[in-house]
Structure 1
Amino acid sequence: MTVATHGGDARVAAAPRDGRRWLTASAVVAALTLAPVAGLVGLALRGSGDLWPHLIATVLPRALIESATLLAGVGAVVAVVGVGTAWIVSAYRFPGRAMFDWALLLPLAIPTYIAAFAYLDILHPIGPVQTALRSALGVQNPRDLWFPEIRSMGGCVFLLGSVLYPYVYLTARSMFLMQSATVLEVARTLGAGGLRTFFLVALPLARPAIAVGVSLALMEALNDIGAAEFLGVRTLTVSIYTTWVNRSSVEGAAQIALAMLAIVVLLVALERWARRRQTVSSGARGVRGAARRTPGALGQAACVIGCALPILAGFVAPFAYLLREAWRRIAEFGLPPQILQETLNTVLFASVATVIAVTLGFVVAYAVRIGRGGPARFTLRAASVGYAMPGTVLAVGLLTPLAAFDNMIDGAAREFFGLSTGLLLSGSGAALIYAYVVRFLAIPAGGVEAGLAKIPTTLDHAARNLGERPGGVARRIHVPLAGPALGAAALLVFVDCMKELSATLLLRPFNFETLATHVYAEASRGSYESGAVAAIAIVLTGLAPVVLVARASARRWSSSQTDDDAPVDAIIRP
């Protein structure tokens, strides 16, 4: 008995040291994530003094105005479409409601630059839409038929809004489904109709969640480079790319990136401010949801149309076009000769980045698990900051820390061995993987933290009393039990790495192409058929997390709801 007590005291004494080791590892991960921000500031400060007047006079005004206009337009579209469709599927019964409940998520599988790639050909003067209209109206000359120009600010707002509205749909639907039926029934008892109940009760209660969804959609819109450039909208992201690549001014690109990062910080601050008073009074299982109302025939038709149009614009039209063009390309010419190598490059780099990101995400999340203190939680939040940084900002910020590392290794090699190592990370595949990991580390960190929170701490205590250290507890208990969370996070990171365009364009090695850069290059040349194969491969891969979200959320609610009334809980990335 005495020996066991002494062993227990030793284990208790060892526990703080083990916690400090995990906290130290978590702090290193956070420092690697924050390094691009420090590098961005240092690079911007190195710029010449006369560069700022040029940027302020010629580049920033137009970029800021067009970025602000784009964000305002996209914010309005995603708010109206996302909230409207979420309320329809949550509050009404109509034919196909169960299908629309998950199908409204499908546009998440279409990257914005691929949607622009498809719509440029679909809405071209000799494309299928305008050709069909001219045929129906008996018009021969394409110039004789007026049609809205897709290469415009309005076209870019429509396109990004059609693809990004699911971010708002997810959060708004979750809040609508968890709202107490008592509150809504009291409003109706007092004489409020359906619209008044929505605007006066349901919408204000869901406003914090809507703010989260809108801010996520706006950050995705700000990160876009392909769609904006294809459609002639000169955002801050496009300005960073052209300043770096076309004008060979890295310092100027860094200074524009700082302005862009300030906008991202403002978006995050506004989102936090919008939900500063948000409180949760009970879990979803403790709230009786309001019964869905069955509208008349016209109302049901309006519900079907209101849900079908966003899916048609955001997924069906671009997906059907890409499928047709890819089939035609393969049937006539076979697979493009370079597509296999590009697919291998994409899968290899995405896989390596996924393994590293999930591993580091587990480290920072597990440090919170065993540390349970402010420092561990701070490192978790710091390690997740990369998700808020657009790819172009991240790429510019990585230049300084990568160059510093290369110079340090080269200097050491020269001093001790008389050899020059040259550039080890800068301009290499390692730099691209580093960018992927920093950009998407928030996904496994947040997902694993949520998964670990569901594991009772009594299992930890029992294992520690049996002599197991935190590393062994993690390996034998937490990793197996958190397997679903780890798998879901790995899938999301893998797909996001495959779709990432902004950072890939700026950091890829010479003569290195991925599926995303292939689509970008073909769209820039106007060779839509040649890029369709790569685009459809990315879209088909992107369907995997959408199916995962739908199935996982449906299982979560199936035990407490009937099939017809089963709401799909919102699963959204950090």
Structure 2
Amino acid sequence: MVLLPVVTLAGIALSGTGEAWPHLASTVLPRATLTTLHLLALVAVLTAVTGVACAWLVVAYEFPLRKTLAWALVLPLAVPPYLAAYAFAEFFLFTGPVQTLWRSLFGFQSARDYWFPDLRSTGGAALVMSCVLYPYVYLTARVVFIMQGRNIADVARTLGAKPSTVFRRILLPVSRPAIVAGVALVLMETLNDFGASEYLGVRTLTLSVFTTWLNRGSLEGAAQIAMLMLVLVFALLMAEQWARRRQRFHSARATHMKARPPRVQLKGWKGPAATLAVATPMLLGFGIPIYVFGTYALRRTHQFFDPALARAFVNSLTTALAAAVLAVVIALLLINAARVARSRTVTLATRFAMIGYALPGTIMALGLLFSLARFDNWLDAQMREWFDVSTGLLLTGSATAIVLACSIRFLALAEGAIRSGLEKLPPNIDEAARSLGRSSLQSAASVTIPLLWPAIFTAGVLVFVDTIKELSATILLRPFGFNTLATFIYENASRGMAQDGAVAALLVIVTALVPVVLLSGALMRDRDAMM
């Protein structure tokens, strides 16, 4: 199932007459590729600097509101990039509060009287995406700063090294693989984005797939662009693996976990300056969307009773719940297969099934759409021939395609959460149950799964929320007349009325806050992180 979209796209890209390729190669691909690489480079730099700086300040220094900001820095993960783009546009464009205040302060009458950064540009899109994606780098860097580099940092401090020296010469080189891993996740999410790029007018490869297929009517050309995106994705994966080729982990003993040197107390103006520096990315990535959509929602309270919004909300809940259940069941089966078989082939196949998360939603949806459509057409033809009954579009004519795409794409999230819980269980628990007469299935049902229930619940919540936020796959796979919260917001924004989707946007953010709050709670339960 993971290979199906890729194989289908490859077949479509190699089929046909190739008439679209010269046009794509001369006009579309050069500009889209350069724009995409430019966007990826800017996002990589901004998220790396923001995530690492915030992580280091929170770990190494004491300043006002540090404990609150330590978990609040994760909140922008609840905001999808396309929602951030709509909010930033309303907040920073000509009619927004920032430029309105700027004109009133200095007496400007029109946009010709002053200069203001253009949000509808590659730099503006990079800023928007960085503000909501930097927590990936912040989380990975913070864990390394707290755990992995502790002993060597202590040695450096005993030799008289200052915190800045320890950071620059010791912890930063040690944390480089983790930082690269976080940046790789950020770049894959950037490649997956469709809504923010389109709204801000940035012609990326992802947007080119849509325009080539829907506007130019060239499915072959769209598939060829999608295959080029796959090359970029695998290049990112190879770079991330190369950066971690020498990474080794050492689990410190519990007694060492609490032996942490005190943080440096920032005095005078440095304390408030650190608070402002750490709070700024959180306020940009989470505060602005909440302010903008909250303000619009208060003026449109009647939308809470809008039947169209209610249908979109129910559709989102249904598809997200189905995708979460399916992904968790598949993850449990794959993990159990690897444990029981203990075969290198099964283990490799299990790990290979997790690459769906690396596939942008556009590629996943495009390949899955046509493979499922062919199956629907074949089944309909067979049923007409055998029973004179038309089955119609069973898969592509319903939300089934969305559920399959999200299950495949987010299977790695479910598998990672469940596997992390499984690693905390005693290694011989299965053998103990089997020695008492339980079969493999009975052992799993009565022993393993009940003990794994917290991890299973976490895995389901992660898939559930990411499915609700997913736009690029849903916009392609949804049947006619079927809206989710994400597509409901997109339709309003595409008409230039993003404010009419404010209530739906708040519903998405509030729903996405559930795993973010769980994650933040887990961070704060870390005794060392609170000391």
* TM-score scaled by length of structure 2: 0.96
CA distance in 2, matches of 1:296, 1:225: 45
| 173-182 or 509-518, larger mean C-alpha shift | 173-182
Runs of 4+ in 1 over 6 A off after TM superposition: none
Q: What's the counterpart of residue 297 of structure 1?
A: 268
Change in 2 beyond 3 A, CA 1:283/1:373 = farther
5 Å matches for 1:365-376?
365-376=335-346
Distance in 2, Cα, partners of 1:127 & 1:138: 16
Aligned residues of 1:34 and 1:382 also touching (Cα < 8 A): no
Q: How does 1:301-320 map to 2 (within 5 A)?
A: 301-320=272-291
Equivalent residue number for residue 170 of structure 1: 139
Partners of 1:153 and 1:520 in 2: how far apart?
A: 20
Counterpart of 2:504? 534
- Separation of aligned partners in 2, 1:352 and 1:70: 34
Measured after TM superposition, the shift of residue 280 of structure 1 is: 1.3
| Alignment check: 8 A CA contact 2:192 2:206 kept | yes
Q: Tell whether 2:10 aligns with 1:50.
A: no
Distance apart, 1:195 and its partner CA? 2.4
Alignment partner of 1:90 out of 46, 53, 59: 59
Say whether 1:151 aligns with 2:94: no
Alpha-carbon distance in 2 for matches of 1:72, 1:320: 29
- Secondary structure of 1:377's aligned partner: helix
For 1:351 and 1:47, locate their aligned partners in 2 and report how far apart those are by CA, in whole Å: 39
CA distance in 2, matches of 1:220, 1:373: 33
Relative to structure 1, the CA distance from residue 564 to residue 449 in structure 2 (aligned partners, 3 Å threshold; closer, same or farther) is closer
> Structure 1 pair 309/58, CA: closer, same or farther in 2 (3 Å)?
same
Kindly report which structure 2 residues correspond to 1:353-368, keeping only aligned pairs within 5 A, or say none: 353-368=323-338
- Counterpart residue number, 2:444: 474
In the TM superposition, what are the counterparts of 1:45-444 in structure 2 within 5 Å? Answer: 45-283=14-252, 285=254, 286=256, 288-330=259-301, 335-444=305-414
Query: 2:445, 2:91 → 1: CA distance?
Result: 51
Does the 8 Å contact 2:60/2:163 carry over to 1?
no
Paired residues of 1:162 and 1:310 also in contact (CA < 8 A): yes
Alpha-carbon shift at residue 213 of structure 1 (Å): 0.3
Counterpart-to-counterpart distance in 1, 2:13 and 2:41:
28
Q: Any idea what the Cα deviations from partners look like across 1:13-40, whole Å, max 9, x if unmatched?
A: xxxxxxxxxxxxxxxxxxx222111111
Deviations 1:70-111 (A, max 9, x none): 000000000000000000001111111110110000100100
- 2-structure distance, mates of 1:360, 1:507: 21
Please give the secondary structure, in 1, of the residue aligned with 2:425.
Answer: coil
Cα deviations by residue, 1:255-287 (Å, 9 ceiling, x for unpaired) = 100000110000010000001000112347345
Tell me the CA shift for residue 142 of structure 1. Answer: 4.1
The answer as to 2:462 corresponding to 1:462 is no
> Which residue of the partner structure matches residue 34 of structure 1?
3
Letter in 2 for 1:372: R
Q: Deviations over 1:516-552 (max 9, x none)?
A: 0111111111113211111111011111111010112
Deviations 1:312-336 (A, max 9, x none): 11111111111111111116x7643
The Cα offsets for residues 323-382 of structure 1, whole Å up to 9 and x where unpaired, read as 111111116x76434111111111111111111111111111111222233122212212
Equivalent position of 2:521 in the other structure: 551
CA shift in 2, pair 1:132/1:537, >3 Å = same
Cα deviation, residue 59, structure 1 = 1.1
Per-residue CA distance 1:463-513 (angstroms, 9 max, x = gap):
212222211111111111000101011111111010100001111101111
In 1, distance between residues paired with 2:502 and 2:174? Answer: 43
- Residues 212, 219 of structure 2: 8 Å contact kept: yes
Q: CA deviation at 1:197?
A: 1.9
Instruction: Summarize the Cα distance change of 1:90–1:429 in structure 2 as closer, same or farther, 3 Å threshold.
Output: same
CA distance in 2: counterparts of 1:295 and 1:142, whole angstroms: 41
Cα 1:345–1:283 shift into 2, 3 Å: same
Find the aligned partners of 1:364 and 1:336 in 2 and give their Cα distance. Answer: 42
**Gap runs ≥5 in structure 1:** 1-31, 566-574
Residue 517 of structure 1 aligns with an amino acid whose one-letter code is T
State the TM-score, normalizing by the size of structure 1.
0.89
Bigger drift between 512-521 and 176-185 goes to 176-185
* 182 and 529 in structure 1: CA distance in 2 versus 1, 3 angstrom threshold: closer
Over the aligned positions, Cα root-mean-square deviation in angstroms equals 1.7
Distance 1:564 1:553 in 2: 9
